[in-house]
Structure 1
Amino acid sequence: MEFSHNDNNNLPLSKFESMLKTNHVLFFDSEEFENIIHHYLNQGKIALAKKAIKLGLDQHTTSINLRLFKVEVYVLEDKLIEADTLLNELHSLDPTNEEIYIQKANILSKKDEHQQAIDVLKRALELTDDVVDLYSLIGMEYLFLDQFEEAKVYFMKCLEVDLEDYSALYNVIYCFEFLGQNEEAITYLNIFLDKNPYCEVAWHQLGKQYYALGNYKKALAAFDFAIISDDSFVGAYLEKGKVLEKLNRYEDAIENYSISLKLDEPTSFALLRIGSCYEQLKNDSLAVQYYYRTVHEDPLLDKGWIAITKYYNRKKNYQKALYYINKAINIDTENVIYWKLYSQINQRLNLYEEAERGFKKTLELGNYELNTWLSRGDLLIKLGESQAAIYNFEQALEFYPENAELEYRLAGLYFSLNEIDKGTFHLKNGIRYNEDYAFIIEELFPEVSNRILVKKLLKTSL
């Protein structure tokens, strides 16, 4: 029994805490000690739980349940050898106590011996009529082993016993989703809803499955039923808003997102989506207002900063776009998307050195997309940094060997530096890989394209 501060059940707890203050030893029956220990463990007050266990065992030396609490504390403290030793003693005293098996399985799980834990839990099933918790524990062990079909079976067993075990329901759907079984999840949820038609969680999950399959009308109906079942279900309003956006019903989407804001603390997701809807409705002033609210609510949400930056980008207000992407970078200097936007905006403002710095940072953060290498290299060419451009493209070739776009650029650079052999080598490679990209020479290196050797090599390939 859990103690409550609002009823008389906390009398033993008050009595126990008074005893600790006065050092006068008082008597408690074993069940009172169990409730006291359980309370402290739930509160995370391990030191007080240990005191209660010690005093409890002083008064009830043969209590197996109190000693099981001692095992539980050993496990919490990662004293697995001590826990195992004590469990073996208890098993010899009471081999039919299912709690002993549960704690044994807990130890095995902590050791990553999940299959052995499952075997022990299955033995515990034979000793008790209270099977729901055991089914759930077995399901979790199967999840640790990535055995999702088996996990799904045991979470379903939980729901066969208790239709309101929503934790098990979420886990069942997680298994379906991991296995890519959206259709099977829909079938299961419909059967479940036949038994429990006002389960808002099941309707919500059903809507998400239909949404994943692109069946937006059925998804919308499911979310409506979730709201009918519980009109304060924030998640259903948010998901309904997403569906309405897909159906281009932006005003209705805004209405649902707005309801979610009234029911709970404002979420950056809802604010961002409202901003996006207003932008679709060409209401720029409200769109940007909600983007501002998004980044104010959650300065670490990259989607907020990206939305407001792209908004000003689309409006060709590059100075403001740059201002906001700089603010975003100051908050998170390791965000690749921020640096790519930073580079693109600086390019539009003809700030080539800053743009090149952004692409360099993007590469340093591990974004090795071909376009990043090409964009940075082309900026280095524009800035007259030929050697740096060569180094950039040669690095890129390690990731994209036999790439014509890189080869033509290297050819142009080497010819411009009068390194004829290297230029010829790379030009021949470019022609061999894809002669359609030969225009790169003329576009980026017009002086090189007029050279007799280059014209001859290009003419030969035609």
Structure 2
Amino acid sequence: MQLSNEEEEYNLSLSKFESMLKTNKVLFFDSEEFEDIILHYLDTGKASLAKKALKLALEQHPRSTGLKLVQVEMLIYDDKLDQAEKLLNELYAIEPHNEEIYIQRANIHSKRDKHEEAVEELKIALQYTEDFADVYNLMGMEYLFMDNLELAKENFIKCLEEDPEDQAALYNVVYCFEFLDQNREAIEFLTSYIDSNPYSEIAWHQIGRLHYGLKEYEAALRAFDYATLVDDEFLGAFMEKGKSLERLKRYDEAIESYNRTIELDDPTSYALMRIGKCYEKLGKKALALKFYNKTVHEDPLLDKGWIAITDFYVREKNFQKALFYVNKALNIDNSNRLYWKRYAVINKEMNFWEEAEMGYRKAVELGDSQLDTWLFWVDILQYLGEFQAAEQTLIQAMDYFPDHYEIEYRLAGIHFILGDDKKGKYHLSNALRTNFKHHTLLKELFPAAWDRKMVQNLIEKYRNA
């Protein structure tokens, strides 16, 4: 690719400057060359080289406003805000109509968390600038800092009107729409944007994302198709396209899309796992397992990969292998309640009651709010003869599920077993009043209590009522 004259001159200036540093010969550069060199080093994180260049620049051009503004930028970069402010005031006395003075003042206010003052400075900069897009973009960022998403969105849109190719502003507009839960409005905006910029793969990709979030998978797929037509190496769009095809149950095509991401870059564990899921949906179990194994080979610390293999073996009812793989996932993330619940279910299937009890207990401790988790845990405690622990667990469960018949029937049965007939009758009455239809649950779980005459009399009383 041929470089423009500007690019050639820029590269020549950099080479010339770096050669000067190596030889200790002092060469002359004009002030604009120095500005480009300093900003290049700042942008690439080479602050020490930027400072060397600035020192030489000010020695050669002590009155250059442009270089002094670069000096202000470096002072702000080093958090020397008071010094930067003092220098700006001096520059303001010389060039009060220089928009960069107001932009850097805004930068200082922003660093001090005075975002409203920063916006006021930027409003003044708008009166003098020729680069409206940059100032609107900066204003949008200040409004983001203030959590004023509406005004942030408004300024990012103005930025795009000035510079339709500003991709960062485009992303920020969509972010504001999404944060404000205005996904429909975001799609309308992007559709209008595409009318003027039909080859914006970013806009097509964002429309696809928004449709996908609204579960409009056909529309999402169309948008991702356009994104990949504009840029046939757009890895993210191919990945999202695969996800949309999966949702539409077009698994063969989804596999093609995921494979395209692997052609474009090194295989990701996510793509390999999705291919495995697609093959499993197609009933190609050997291929599914092959890709699940590739997933964990690619990223052994991806717990979701081990869980995918776990679930595969659970569906195959091979609980021995499922237990091995769920332990792999727990070794990576032992604070995931869903993994502990799987661990409990697998151990329960294998009649490893104590391990199953621990799994359900861990799941609840980590915030599992599903009723069935609590009930399975209680039933296992009861099976292990831990009736008092089961009682305490049920009382705890009532805080989350007050007056739930499944809890009340269990509490009744456990109290009868523990010999507390008064509490047993109380909870049985609650259960029968709440849900008489399922009163045989007591018979299933506590047959000895069910057979008692007192219990049958109470049931008859509610039946007749």
With normalisation by structure 2, the TM-score equals: 0.89
Kindly tell me: are residues 414 and 43 of structure 1, through their superposed partners in 2, closer, same or farther at Cα, counting changes over 3 Å?
Answer: same
Query: Judging changes above 3 Å, is the alpha-carbon distance between structure 1 residues 343 and 144 closer, same or farther for their aligned structure 2 residues?
Result: same
Aligned residue type for 1:158: C
Aligned to 1:94: 95
Could you say which residue in structure 1 is the equivalent of 2:320?
A: 319
Native 8 Å contact 2:13 2:33 kept in 1: no
The question of 1:368 aligning with 2:372 is answered: no
User: Contact 1:4/1:10 (CA < 8 Å) preserved in 2?
Assistant: no
CA contact (8 A) 2:35 2:67 kept: yes
SS at match of 1:279: helix
Distance 1:30 1:340, change over 3 A: same
- What is the CA deviation profile of residues 281-314 of structure 1, one whole-angstrom value per residue up to 9, with x for unaligned ones? 1111111111111222233434322222111111
Matches within 5 A, 1:49-198: 49-198=50-199
Cα deviation for residue 225 of structure 1 reads 2.3
CA–CA separation in structure 2 for the residues paired with 1:461 and 1:5: 94
CA distance in 1, matches of 2:83, 2:359: 56
Q: State the Cα deviation string for residues 170-222 of structure 1 (Å, max 9, x = none).
A: 22222333333333333333332222222222222233333344444443333
Say yes or no: does 1:235 pair with 2:239.
Answer: no
Partner amino acid for 2:18? S
Q: Structure 2: where are the runs of 5+ without partners?
A: none
Residues 457 and 155 from structure 1, CA distance in 2 versus in 1: closer, same or farther, beyond 3 angstroms? same
Mapped contact 1:30–1:63 kept (Cα < 8 A): yes
- The Cα offsets for residues 267-292 of structure 1, whole Å up to 9 and x where unpaired, read as 22221221111111111111111111
**Relative to 1, partners in 2 of residues 1:214 and 1:157: Cα closer, same or farther, differing over 3 Å?**
same
CA distance in 1, matches of 2:6, 2:335: 46
Q: Which amino acid aligns with 1:378?
A: D
For the 8 Å contact 1:2–1:35, the answer to whether it is kept is no
The alpha-carbon distance between structure 1 residues 5 and 242, as it changes in their structure 2 partners (threshold 3 A), is farther
What CA distance in whole angstroms lies between the structure 1 residues aligned with 2:173 and 2:335? 36
Contact 2:10 / 2:36 at 8 angstroms: preserved in 1? no
Q: Cα gap change, 1:67/1:364 in structure 2, threshold over 3 Å: closer, same or farther?
A: farther
Distance change in 2, residues 1:56/1:269 (3 Å) = same
Q: Specify whether residues 2 and 76 from structure 1 end up closer, same or farther in structure 2 by C-alpha distance, changes over 3 A only.
A: farther
Using the TM superposition, give the Cα deviation of residue 227 of structure 1 relative to its aligned residue in structure 2, in angstroms: 2.1
Aligned counterpart, 1:17: 21
2:227 is the counterpart of 1:226: yes
Q: Tell me the residue number matched to 1:273.
A: 274
Q: Is the 8 A contact 1:313 1:345 kept in 2?
A: yes
Relative to 1, partners in 2 of residues 1:83 and 1:458: Cα closer, same or farther, differing over 3 Å?
A: farther
The whole-number CA distance in structure 1 between the counterparts of 2:218 and 2:396 is 50
Q: Cα distance 1:81–1:343, how it changes in 2: closer, same or farther (>3 A)? A: farther
Question: What are the within-5 Å matches in structure 2 for residues 287-366 of structure 1?
Answer: 287-366=288-367
The Cα of 1:86 is off from its aligned counterpart by 4.0
| Whole-angstrom distance in 2 between the partners of 1:216 and 1:397 | 40
Between the aligned partners of 1:298 and 1:65, the Cα distance in structure 2 is: 50
TM-superposed CA distance for 1:3, in Å, is: 8.9
Shift of 1:58: 4.8
Contact 1:322–1:342 at 8 Å: present in 2 too? yes
Q: Which residue of 2 aligns with 1:456?
A: 457
* Residues 421 and 25 of structure 1, relative CA distance in 2, 3 Å threshold: farther
Q: Any unmatched runs of 5+ in structure 1? A: none
What amino acid maps onto 1:282 in structure 2?
G
Match for 2:441: what amino acid? I
- Does 136-145 or 344-353 show the bigger shift? 136-145
Work out the CA distance in 1 between the residues paired with 2:86 and 2:409.
Answer: 72
Pick which of 355-364 and 395-404 moved more.
395-404
Amino acid in the other structure paired with 2:448: E
Structure 1 residues 315-324 or 27-36, which shifts more?
A: 27-36
- AA partner of residue 283 (structure 2): K
Tell me which moved more, 312-321 or 178-187.
Answer: 178-187
User: C-alpha separation between the residues in 2 aligned to 1:338 and 1:277?
Assistant: 22
Structure 2 residue matching 1:399: 3-state secondary structure: coil
Q: Distance in 1 between matches of 2:342 and 2:10?
A: 56
The 8 Å contact of residues 450 and 456 in structure 2, kept in 1 or not, is answered as yes
Letter in 2 for 1:203: W
Sort the Cα spacing of 1:214 and 1:388 in 2 relative to 1 into closer, same or farther, 3 A. Answer: closer
The range that moved more, 334-343 or 138-147, is: 138-147
In the aligned structure 2, how far is the partner of 1:140 from the partner of 1:221? 32
Secondary structure of the residue aligned to 2:109 is helix
Indicate conservation of the 8 Å contact 1:408/1:426, yes or no: yes
Cα RMSD (Å): 2.8
TM-score scaled by length of structure 1: 0.90
Q: Does 1:254 align with 2:239?
A: no
Q: Secondary structure at the match of 1:126?
A: helix
How many residues are treated as equivalent by the alignment? 459
**Cα distance, 1:437 vs. partner?**
4.3
Counterpart residue identity of residue 398, structure 1: D
CA 1:17–1:277: 2 relative to 1, 3 Å? same
Separation in 2 of the partners of 1:7 and 1:286?
A: 52
Q: Look up the equivalent residue of 1:419 and give its one-letter code.
A: D
Q: Which residue of 2 aligns with 1:395?
A: 396
Letter in 1 for 2:257: N
Question: What is the SS of the residue equivalent to 1:139?
Answer: helix
- Preserved CA contact (<8 Å) 1:300 1:332: no
Report the more deviating stretch, 90-99 or 443-452. Answer: 90-99
Question: Compared with structure 1, are the counterparts of its residues 182 and 417 closer, same or farther at alpha carbon in structure 2 (3 Å cutoff)?
Answer: same
Larger CA deviation: 345-354 vs 36-45? 36-45
Match of 2:99, as an amino acid? E
What amino acid sits opposite 2:220 in the alignment? Answer: A
Which residue is 1:208 aligned to?
Answer: 209
Instruction: Tell whether 2:45 aligns with 1:44.
Output: yes
* Equivalent position of 2:415 in the other structure: 414
